């Protein structure tokens, strides 16, 4: 995050920088701590569910990522990821989508 920036404005800036779209509807799911691999400190991560955005269909805009794909919640839960906490997060997102808390995002956008 940049000095004076809120987590919400950091989300909007980072998503636009990384994949070219601007989130317009989102909810903070959790804030997590994880070790910083470059120091002995920990980092704080904010995980959001983005329900809507404006701009082009997301695409890889820089060399920080090699690929961008959409997954249903069920598909995402079967991925072999570097950190197992994401599987629990995907399960919670699935519950939110099923309960209607996340609006109609499940019909229009996939993870």
Residue 11 pLDDT exceeds 90 = yes
Per-residue pLDDT reduced to its tens digit, 43-93: 888 989 898 999 988 888 888 888 888 888 889 888 888 777 888 888 888
CA proximity to 61, closest of 24, 14, 6, 11: 14
For domain 1-64, give the CATH superfamily. Nucleoside Triphosphate Pyrophosphohydrolase (3.90.79.10)
So what's the pLDDT on residue 10? 95
- pLDDT attached to residue 15: 94
Contacts of 52 (CB under 8 A, 6+ apart): 23, 24, 25, 105, 108, 109
Q: Where are the beta strands (DSSP E) in 2-111?
A: 22-35, 42-54
Write down the domain spans for the chain: 1-64, 69-111
- Percentage of the chain modeled with pLDDT above 70: 90
> What does the pLDDT read at residue 85?
81
Hey, how many other C-beta atoms are within 10 angstroms of the C-beta on 73?
Answer: 18
Strand segments (E) across the chain:
22-35, 42-54
Three-class DSSP category at 11:
helix
């Amino acid at each position: 995050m940049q000095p004076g920036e809120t987590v919400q404005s950091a989300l909007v800036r980072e998503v636009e920088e990384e994949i070219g779209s601007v989130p317009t509807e989102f909810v903070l799911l959790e804030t997590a701590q994880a070790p910083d691999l470059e120091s002995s400190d920990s980092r704080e991560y904010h995980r959001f569910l983005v329900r809507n955005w404006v701009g082009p269909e997301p695409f890889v805009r820089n060399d920080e990522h090699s690929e961008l794909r959409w997954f249903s919640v069920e598909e995402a839960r079967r991925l072999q990821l570097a950190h197992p906490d994401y599987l629990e997060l995907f399960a919670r997102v699935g519950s939110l989508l099923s309960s209607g808390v996340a609006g109609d995002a499940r019909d229009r956008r996939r993870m």
